[in-house]
Structure 1
Amino acid sequence: MDGRLSRRRRRWGLGGWCWRLACVVLLWLAGVSAYIVWIGQRDQAAPADVIIVLGAAAYDARPSPVFEERLRHGIDLYQRGLARRLLFTGGFGGAGARFAESQVGRRYALRAGVPAGAILIETVSRTTRQNLQQAARLMQANGLHTAIIVSDPLHMARAMRLAREEGIDALASATPTSRFRTFSTRWRFFLQELYFFHRDLFMEAV
């Protein structure tokens, strides 16, 4: 009798620890999720040296709808006089691509009336971290110290954390509209950002 009772207590104890662990994990995920949403809803746009528009997919010489939203917002900030320079990031999307994402952004800005001398680009990055690494190098080479970072709302939390890691003194200004409009596309993008957020934390820890 005592043996059976002891085994039950051990099983209950193990189950209790599993339940506590599950609660901690759920609370952590809820907190991170709230942080991602909160950062994406803030607009810190204020005078800075440069506006960094993070790259996104391009279709030959045309920006994807997501990239176009970022370009529009970055150019709007420039036309409002918040910075004298625009910096477009993003390399070649794949084999055979004629234009880097940043080159597509430059063409788009020129058509919008932005002077060529106000535009900086890099053409080698393929990830958000690389976008910001290359942006930091260009800023240093051109004597630029402060930046406004432009991306989609759900992308801003990770972008800002990576910017800090690259030593960029940055403010966040997410696009006021997003091409991730449907519930399914927003949910997929959110889960993607949640995954990358934790992956980057794990990579830093090891």
Structure 2
Amino acid sequence: MKSGFSRTAAPAANSRHPRGLVSSISVWMARLIVGAVLMGLILVAGTAVRVWQVARIDNYTPADAIVVLGAAQYSGTPSSVFEARLYQAGRLYEAGVAPMVITVGGKQEGDLYTEAASGKRYLENAGVPSDHILAVETGSDTLRSIEAVADAMGARGMSSAVLVSDPWHSLRTRTMARDAGLRAWTAPTRTGPAVYTRESQFHGIARETGALLWYQLTHFSADFSYTAGQ
């Protein structure tokens, strides 16, 4: 008795199997890609929310020192961004938050003054006693500045700091300071170009979100001329 099955039927069925396998792999690859993109978006969005949340914190808990992160200066005159930070530091000093103010920041090629020195001179003119101001004249970006401050504070037996910078810069500076071994919290400026407009606020949050993610991934700074021209 002859079989009712054709000898050519089996190969035809087998020929469909590789295409089905490729299709199944493609579906899983697409799912993995979509999942990775969604996880990335959640991570970015979550970091942006944390940048915004910490920017709103004003912690006036007493500390060993008030640390002012540097910004641009012009022949010893602080830029508007830097002046806003120094003004906030002066207010904190007058309120008795800390007995010492630390200014930090080096200088660009061709500058006569460092950011730290110009900041110290501004505070002296504002009435802060010179012997209550420490100028740490090194640091070309946030990470190097924080590390220089941590070393200077450690050498003087100080371990806690309230950090003064722009609101959106707060979370990254606090993260770096704590990584450097300091007990640190933030009381950012509420004046100056960083907070003038919605556009500047959005730009600051977006920039700091990327910079913080980069630091957490690599432990390198990502300032990209953060203070240049400010």
How big is the shift at 1:32? Answer: 0.9
For residues 22 and 151 of structure 2, the distance between their equivalents in structure 1, rounded to whole angstroms, comes to 62
Q: Give the RMSD, CA atoms, in angstroms.
A: 1.8
Q: Is the 8 Å Cα contact of residues 52 and 205 (structure 2) preserved in structure 1?
A: no
| Structure 2 counterpart of 1:44 | 59
How big is the shift at 1:56? Answer: 0.9
| Structure 2 counterpart of 1:133 | 147
- Map 1:29-178 to 2 at 5 A: 29-92=44-107, 94-178=108-192
Higher Cα Rg, which structure: 2
| Structure 2 counterpart of 1:25 | 40
Q: Secondary structure at the match of 2:102?
A: strand
For residues 7 and 117 of structure 1, the distance between their equivalents in structure 2, rounded to whole angstroms, comes to 74
**Deviation string for 1:88-119 (max 9, x for gaps)?**
00111x21101101111111101111111111
Alignment TM-score, normalising by the size of structure 1: 0.91
Q: Secondary structure at the match of 2:112?
A: coil
**Deviation string for 1:18-67 (max 9, x for gaps)?**
11111111111111111111111111111111100111111222111111
Q: In structure 1, give the amino acid aligned to 2:124.
A: L
Q: In structure 1, give the amino acid aligned to 2:178.
A: R
Q: In structure 2, give the amino acid aligned to 1:158.
A: R
Q: Secondary structure at the match of 2:134?
A: strand
Alignment TM-score, normalising by the size of structure 2: 0.82
Q: Secondary structure at the match of 1:87?
A: strand
Specify every segment of 5 or more residues in structure 2 that has no aligned partner in the other structure, as ranges. 1-15, 221-230
How big is the shift at 1:2? Answer: 4.6
Selected match of 1:9 from 24, 29, 38: 24
How many residues align? The count is 204
Specify every segment of 5 or more residues in structure 1 that has no aligned partner in the other structure, as ranges. none
| Seq. identity, % | 29
**Deviation string for 1:180-203 (max 9, x for gaps)?**
233443333323222221221222
